[in-house]
């Protein structure tokens, strides 16, 4: 166990909760951890930036500006052997920006690494347009070279990482009538899971074919989702404090954990796939 947690000392030295915009309800879409766990990237700051923190000290190593309004979500692609990856950010300005993370430097850098001051005030590698309202979630795959994004009262769009708009999802309107609230790319990187605010979960191929969907408990609203490493199970949790486990291939319910007395905002499965971790909001 981390010594700061074990002895309950110095915890505030690693608090990231300053300068967040009060109007934004933070959730797991606002934070990512780089694969080696050395850096946390966070969004939601009132100055329209997103920031890079060192995990062990919470020291800010970069403050990145690019969007014209609040940065509302962030995600990263798979990482290369050198630790490089794409970082995708979405904003209230209705755009998605693609950034380059350099694993060796532990920084977001310009696409052209030979440019002067490439580590200071880096520029996005691409700006993706097509939405007209706030971006609520984004996923990016370097393997496929694709970015999938969802906006309030709008469609789900598929772009290339270079900014070319390819297609938009057309869900089954007979069963899904609400706005998308979260996206999740499945382990095979060829299918996408979409959570709609009414408590619908739908699966699509990246070619816009809806595979199946289900409706969770009528009185619940899903806020968090994760998946087992083998891609066989989806774990979701939400407003009622209940965690549900479904099989991905047919969305049949496998298990329901006893309800907690709090809203579940995020979920994680341990590396050995034996335990599920939950983040609560009272």
Q: Say how many CA atoms lie within 13 Å of 122 toward its Cβ.
A: 26
Query: Do 1-168 and 171-282 have matching folds?
Result: yes
Q: Tell me the average pLDDT of the chain.
A: 82
Cβ(196)–Cβ(178) under 8 Å? yes
Token pair 């020291």 is at which residue? 59
The CA–CA distances, whole Å, from 82 to 68, 204, 261 equal 31, 31, 43
Calculate mean pLDDT across residues 224-250: 82
CATH class of 1-168: mainly beta
Percent residues over pLDDT 90 in the chain:
32
pTM: 0.81
Identify which has the larger pLDDT, 119 or 141. 141
The confidence score (pLDDT) of residue 86 equals 95
pLDDT of residue 51: 93
Note the pLDDT of residue 276.
79
Residue 190 has pLDDT above 50, yes or no: yes
- Which residues, other chains included, contact 276 with Cβ-Cβ below 8 Å and sequence gap of 6+? 226, 235, 243, 257, 267, 268, 269, 270
The domain spans of the chain are 1-168, 171-282
Mean pLDDT over 60-89 rounds to 92
Per-residue pLDDT, 97: 97
Q: What per-residue confidence (pLDDT) applies to 171?
A: 64
Looking at the predicted structure, is the pLDDT value of residue 36 above 80?
Answer: yes
282: pLDDT confidence band, cut at 50, 70 and 90? very low
Look up the CATH number of domain 171-282: 2.130.10.10
More confident residue, 12 or 65: 65
Where would I find the beta strands (DSSP E) of 92-179?
A: 96-102, 107-109, 126-128, 135-141, 146-151, 156-160, 165-168
């Amino acid at each position: 166990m981390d010594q700061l947690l074990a002895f309950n000392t110095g915890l505030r030295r690693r608090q990231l909760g300053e300068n967040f915009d009060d109007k934004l309800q933070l959730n797991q879409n606002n934070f990512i951890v780089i694969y080696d766990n050395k850096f946390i990237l966070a969004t939601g700051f009132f100055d329209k930036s997103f920031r890079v923190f060192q995990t062990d000290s919470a020291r800010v190593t970069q403050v990145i500006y690019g969007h014209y309004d609040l940065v509302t979500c962030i995600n990263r692609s798979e990482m290369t052997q050198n630790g490089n990856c794409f970082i995708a950010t979405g904003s209230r300005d209705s755009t998605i920006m693609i950034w380059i993370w350099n694993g060796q430097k532990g920084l977001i850098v310009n696409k052209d690494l030979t440019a002067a001051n490439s580590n200071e005030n880096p520029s996005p590698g691409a700006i993706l347009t097509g939405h007209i309202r706030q971006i609520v979630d984004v996923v990016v795959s370097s393997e496929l070279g694709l970015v999938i994004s969802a906006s309030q009262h709008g469609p789900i769009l598929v772009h290339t990482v270079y900014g070319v708009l390819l297609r938009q999802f057309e869900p089954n309107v007979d069963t899904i009538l609400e706005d998308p609230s979260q996206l999740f790319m499945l382990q095979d990187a060829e299918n996408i899971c979409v959570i709609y605010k009414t408590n619908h979960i739908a699966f699509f191929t990246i070619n816009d074919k809806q595979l199946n969907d289900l409706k969770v408990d009528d009185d619940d609203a899903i806020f968090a989702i994760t998946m087992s490493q083998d891609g066989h199970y989806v774990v979701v949790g939400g407003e009622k404090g209940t965690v549900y486990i479904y099989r991905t291939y047919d969305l049949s319910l496998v298990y329901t954990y006893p309800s907690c007395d709090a809203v579940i905002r995020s979920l994680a499965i341990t590396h050995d796939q034996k335990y599920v971790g939950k983040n609560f909001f009272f």
